[in-house]
Structure 1
């Protein structure tokens, strides 16, 4: 605990942790002040993300970048899962699908591209484990195909019954979960020698003891989930004040804030020439959402949802996820990166962001 307090005292950014109890108090006594809650929740998530970043690096120093990246992606995705479960109980399936699609696109394009850019600005070229990155990109492409088929069938045949789409979605959900489990078995057990780190990290700060790091990871993840829930509840109303469309909020703003903790770890790893950690967090998080979180939500909708949820996404979301998967596959092909590669990936993301921001309210495509 002394180590943690010393870290907080020595890092001015972590002084913003004072906003964590403030945002909880404001949510209790001023629940109607949506714009205030929006600003306070963002200020609270930033230091929590920095704390989570340091804890993740300490765990990765003990376990290796592959396991560290997987752990960070898993804990980071708990935020999206908590938000999605709350929306699932309320039957807000459009919000669930928007958060899933937005998280996949944001993690694949923004997080990966920014990691390449930030790392490349400090290091001339960087290397990462090509096998690991290609496997994650391949799993992500598999998931986008499974999300594309139900949507394509409904678009092609307007007479398709909802019962057929629901059964198809359940079958695909089971397949995706099985593929994710087998992928973990392959990378962490039977062929783990292929997934060693290629990057050579710089000597940085002394890592925390593993017990403290794991405790901080668990505690901060819970706080991020709670603050993110306040953020999501307030962002819809606050978006009106800032002139943001619902499509932009769901796909861009919610996804960026929800992934803030993961991004802090990924960007820090890239700057320290630990690009395997960055790529593992970005692509690992995206593939985990696509192959595990989304299918689990489909299955849980039969238990806690008012009606079954399917994997039918609206055409615009499917196109963005497919382009993101293809982009990830293209830029990870060589196992090397430079800053301009990150610029290209970020440009693809900005094309989507600008389109969604300027999309007229009446022209927003929504899922069925």
Structure 2
């Protein structure tokens, strides 16, 4: 435990861990103070993300960047899955769908772009294995096509439109989960030699924790993030109204950014250390995992825990933004090289989406 305590003592960011018990206590004492709970929950997730960052890097040091990236994406998406499940139970389907679409766009544009920018500011040109980027971009493209199908059916105005949409959605969910399972088999077993990290100059400077401590920290921090996420999702709607944000904006931007805080901390740190393979694996791996695993699982679980089954019918703007983000990431990762300006361009595209959604929220028909 000494490396963990030493890390906390010497990192001012980790002193913010005091907000974790604070938000849990405030939730018990003043459960109706939604805006305060919202702010405290965000402040509590930040240091937890930093701890998750170091622990995941320590595990990745033993497993390699590809598996490390997959591990971090899975743990990071667990937070987003818990946030979505809480919204699903409450019947907040707009928030669920907005958080799914937002997470895909945030990871493939903002997280990837910020990684390119931060890494490029320290290293003039960075190389990475483009096979990994191509794989995840292809998976995202397939998932986006799956999101287009329910929208096409909705435009037909069938007599049993809702029932048809739900049947199509559950079928698509099964196909997407199957495709994701096959992608894991392809990248981690049958063709894993294609996804070896690009060679970099020098070794990393951080001190890796012992594996036992790193894994234990991952488990405990993930549980704490889940608890804080429950409080976050319970307060985010009311806080959003107070702050003048629509449910779509809250889900698409706020939930996606807070839910992905842990992954972003690791991706940005890896990019600064010239380990761009890990950053790309986390950013695009997380986006494809949400599209091919988290979203379909939520559709299946909605039959058991939701007020009614959820479909994969997203409002047209969301599908358009996901498609643009997918095509952009496909185009950007084709070269296997990056510089800071490429990252800046990706962030600008994300900012355009955020500004548009804030000023012109989707109408009530988007439910």
- Please indicate the TM-score interval, normalised by the length of the shorter structure: over 0.9
Distance 1:329 1:163 in 2: 34
> Aligned ranges for residues 1-368 of structure 1 at < 5 Å?
1-157=1-157, 159=159, 161-200=161-200, 202-359=203-360, 364=363, 367-368=366-367
Distance 1:133 1:199 in 2: 16
Q: Is the 8 A contact 1:266 1:278 kept in 2?
A: yes
Number of positions where the alignment pairs a residue of Structure 1 with one of Structure 2: 366
Distance 1:357 1:305 in 2: 28
Distance 1:365 1:67 in 2: 42
C-alpha distance 199-358 of structure 1, shift in aligned 2 (>3 A): farther
Q: Is the 8 A contact 1:199 1:273 kept in 2?
A: no
Distance 1:309 1:64 in 2: 37
Q: Which runs of 4+ in 1 moved over 4 A?
A: none
Q: Is the 8 A contact 2:87 2:233 kept in 1?
A: no
**Displacement of 1:237:** 1.9
**Displacement of 1:68:** 0.3
Q: Is the 8 A contact 2:95 2:248 kept in 1?
A: no
**Displacement of 1:90:** 2.6
SS of residue matched to 2:366: coil
**Displacement of 1:156:** 4.0
**Displacement of 1:33:** 1.1
Q: Is the 8 A contact 1:154 1:160 kept in 2?
A: no
Distance 1:199 1:227 in 2: 38
TM-score when scaled to structure 2?
0.96
**Displacement of 1:125:** 0.5
Distance 2:23 2:313 in 1: 36
Distance 1:98 1:193 in 2: 36
**Displacement of 1:91:** 2.4
Deviates more, 1:234-243 or 1:141-150: 234-243
Q: Is the 8 A contact 2:73 2:285 kept in 1?
A: yes
Q: Deviations over 1:199-228 (max 9, x none)?
A: 526421210011111111111111112112
SS of residue matched to 1:75: helix
> Unaligned regions of 5+ residues in structure 2, if any?
none
**Displacement of 1:88:** 2.0
**Displacement of 1:158:** 5.3
**Displacement of 1:105:** 0.9
> Unaligned regions of 5+ residues in structure 1, if any?
none
TM-score when scaled to structure 1?
0.96
Distance 1:31 1:176 in 2: 38
Q: Deviations over 1:41-79 (max 9, x none)?
A: 111111111111101111111100000000000001111
Distance 2:206 2:331 in 1: 34
Deviates more, 1:196-205 or 1:1-10: 196-205
**Displacement of 1:153:** 2.0
Deviates more, 1:316-325 or 1:93-102: 93-102
